[in-house]
Amino acid sequence: MKNKVVIITGASSGIGRALAVEFASRGAKLVLGARRTERLQELEKELSDTEILSVKTDVSVEEECRNLVEQAVSRFGHIDILINNAGISMRANFEDMDLEVMHKVMDVNFYGTVYCTKYALPYLLESKGSLVGVISIAGHVGLPGRTAYSASKFAVRGFLDTVRIENLKKGLHVLVAAPGFTASEVRKSALTANGTSQGETPRNEEKMMSAEECAVHIANAVKKRKRQLILTFVEGKFTVFLGKFFPSLLDKLTFNHMAKEPDSPVK
C-alpha cells in the first residue's frame, strides 16, 4: 500500500476512521470524505506523518462526490483505491416507516456509492486499482426492522457485482466487504420511523467486532484482491450459509434474533 492513493468516504468515525488509520499505517496517501470536517481535521493531526487531503463531502449529493474525486486527482494525479464506506442505518418496520426514510437511506448508502464510483471509475481502470463497497450482513440477509438499510446494502452488492463483471477484462478489482455487527456510531445516528435520529443504540457493543479489527480485515482483502469478504462466523459466514441452503429456517432465526432487541419494532 506504500504511496497508494486511497479515497475513503464516511471517514470521520467508525469503520471509515479506522480504515484511514490502517491504510496510513501501511504508507498510503489518503483522501478523506465526510460531512464533519472538524473530525477529519482531528484525524489529520493524529496522522501527521501521512499525506492527507480532507474534503467535506455529503455522498448523497452527486456534485460533492464529483468534487471529492476531482480534488483527489488534482492533488495526487491518480487514484488507486476507492472505499465506499459512508452509510446510515434505520430502525422501524416498513409498515410504520415514512417513505422519506427509505429515500434518505438509499440516497446515502446506494446512490453515494454509485456517484463516487461513477467519477472514480476511469481513474481506477487506468491504475487497475480497487473498488470497494462496505455493506453488511444485511446485504446478504433481510433484517426485519431494518428494511431500508437491508434494501440499500443488497442494492450496493448487486451494483458492485455487476461493475466487476462489466470490467472483467480491464484489470479492475472489486471487493464487496460485509462486516457483521461492528461497534460503530452508525446505530446511534440510525433513523426512526419518522426520520428522527435514534440517539442511542439498543445493542450492547462491548462484544462486537471493533472498527479497528474490521479495518484490518478489509485492508488485507484489498491487498489480496479478494472479491468478497464476510466477517464473523456465526453472524456472518454461517448466516449466509443458512440463507443458501435453509432459507426458511434462517427467516425464523433472524426474526427471533431481531425481536429480542430492547424496544424492538419486530413483534
What is the CATH number for 191? Answer: 3.40.50.720
Degrees, nearest 5: CA angle 112-116-122 = 155
Residue 192 and residue 104: Cα distance in Å, rounded?
12
- Helix (H) / strand (E) containing 50: none
66: in domain: yes
Annotated catalytic residue 149: yes
Residue 169 and residue 160: Cα distance in Å, rounded?
15
267: in domain: no
What was the pLDDT predicted at 160? 98
Alpha helices in the chain (DSSP H): 14-25, 37-46, 62-76, 99-105, 112-127, 147-166, 211-223, 239-245, 247-259
Secondary structure (3-state) at 64: helix
DSSP state, residue 187 = G
The pTM (predicted TM-score) of the whole model is: 0.90
From the candidates 111, 119, 123, 149, give the one annotated as an active-site residue.
Answer: 149
265: in domain: no
What was the pLDDT predicted at 202? 60
DSSP state, residue 207 = G
What was the pLDDT predicted at 198? 67
* Partners of 132 in beta bridges: 83, 175
Domain of residue 12: give its range.
5-259
In the chain (267 residues long), the average pLDDT of successive 10-residue segments reads 96 95 97 95 94 97 98 97 96 94 97 98 98 94 94 97 98 94 67 78 68 95 96 84 91 90 85
What was the pLDDT predicted at 96? 94
Q: Which backbone phi and psi does 52 adopt, to 5 degrees?
A: -130, 135
What was the pLDDT predicted at 119? 98
Q: Which residues of 213-246 are buried (b: 16+ CB within 10 A; e: fewer)?
A: bbbebbbebbeeebeebbbbeebbeebbebbeee
264: in domain: no
Residues 81 and 74 sit within 8 Å (Cβ to Cβ): no
What was the pLDDT predicted at 71? 97
What was the pLDDT predicted at 41? 94
Q: How many domains does the chain have?
A: 1
What was the pLDDT predicted at 83? 98
